[in-house]
Amino acid sequence: MDFEIRPASDYPLSTLVETVNRGFEGYFVPITLNLNAFLNMVRKDGIDLAVSRVLVANDEPRGIALLAHRGWTSRLAAMGIAREMRGMGAGSWFMEQLIREARDRKEHEMVLEVIEQNEPAVSLYEKCGFEIERRLIGFRRRDAIENETQPLSIMDIREAAWLVSKHGLPGLPWQLSAESIAQMNPPACAYRKDEACIVISDPDVHEIVVWSLLVESQARSRGLGTGILKAVIAQHPGKTWHMPALLPEELGKVFEGAAFERESLSQWQMKLVL
């Protein structure tokens, strides 16, 4: 079967949502989006629909690749192939075209995250030249209660992002980077306690996502990360707290110290030098 690719911006949003959902049907972790969820993903992850691509066969959308880029780096935010096209070489062909176009744009690298346990996807990316940089893990704590009484100070999310740019680990995953944190808006919020800060999603809903937890370089190994985590839980008691599988594995002790349970699924952070 002959394939071609077309810009995602050529298609109505409803078609893109349908193509994403078809592409992840029966996937290792199935994804089903509505229009609002898709638009939130585009905004939050900085997806550029002009460089994102739709895989077309027999003049019908059969797959999609959502791409974001900053400077000389592009990120494959999501790639899905319709169930009936899998096993026909469509994924390898699609990736070859995406890499070729990234090189044509003079980009220096392409990055992505892939579920570690999804061996076919990992194999595809390795075949295309991607290399593993680090393991990313996730944590969850349900109905959390803490008695930490030390007060937290509310801070501007942009200030938290600046601290991430100054003190964060090199090469953080895209979603945890300073640039991504700076794009967040209320009802997400940020708190500071001593030399530590934390950025969380809307604290008024039952499940709260931790998007950033940082301790300034000169103050590490003093338990400040676990301390601010317990303090923010105490301020919003009875909630379920979630750190998505985007946390560099070497930072896991901070969450373990606050009685979080590690999730079974993990991801590889991967990079292709172009």
Domain end point (choices 107, 124, 147): 107
DSSP 47: B
Q: Is residue 53 part of a domain?
A: yes
Q: Is residue 214 part of a domain?
A: yes
| 42 and 162 together in one domain | no
What's the pLDDT score for residue 2?
A: 87
Q: Are strands 53-57 and 239-248 parallel, antiparallel or unpaired?
A: unpaired
| 207 and 260 together in one domain | yes
Question: Rounded CA gap, 270 and 274, in Å?
Answer: 13
Q: Is residue 155 part of a domain?
A: yes
Cα–Cα nearest to 198, from 138, 140, 141, 255: 255
What's the pLDDT score for residue 75?
A: 98
Give the three-class secondary structure for 234: helix
Q: Is residue 271 part of a domain?
A: no
| 254 and 208 together in one domain | yes
What's the pLDDT score for residue 29?
A: 82
The domain containing residue 24 runs over which residues? 3-107
Strand partners, 214: 197
How many domains does the chain divide into?
Answer: 2
| 92 and 203 together in one domain | no
| 243 and 173 together in one domain | yes
What's the pLDDT score for residue 151?
A: 86
| 154 and 233 together in one domain | yes
| 169 and 234 together in one domain | yes
What's the pLDDT score for residue 139?
A: 98
What's the pLDDT score for residue 266?
A: 98
Q: What angle (nearest 5°) sits at the alpha carbon of residue 165, between those of residues 203 and 195?
A: 65
What's the pLDDT score for residue 7?
A: 98
CATH code, domain with 243: 3.40.630.30
Structure tokens at 131: 């290399």
| 158 and 260 together in one domain | yes
DSSP 161: H
Q: Is residue 162 part of a domain?
A: yes
What's the pLDDT score for residue 17?
A: 97
| 247 and 169 together in one domain | yes
| 156 and 216 together in one domain | yes
| 141 and 210 together in one domain | yes
| 180 and 87 together in one domain | no
Question: Rounded CA gap, 234 and 228, in Å?
Answer: 10
Domain end point (choices 107, 129, 161): 107
Mean pLDDT by 10 residues, the chain (274 residues): 93 97 88 94 94 96 96 96 91 97 97 96 97 98 91 96 97 96 95 97 97 97 95 96 98 97 98 98
Strand partners, 4: 56
Q: Is residue 130 part of a domain?
A: no
- 273: number of Cβ within 10 Å: 9
Q: Is residue 213 part of a domain?
A: yes
- 99: number of Cβ within 10 Å: 19
Q: Is residue 125 part of a domain?
A: no
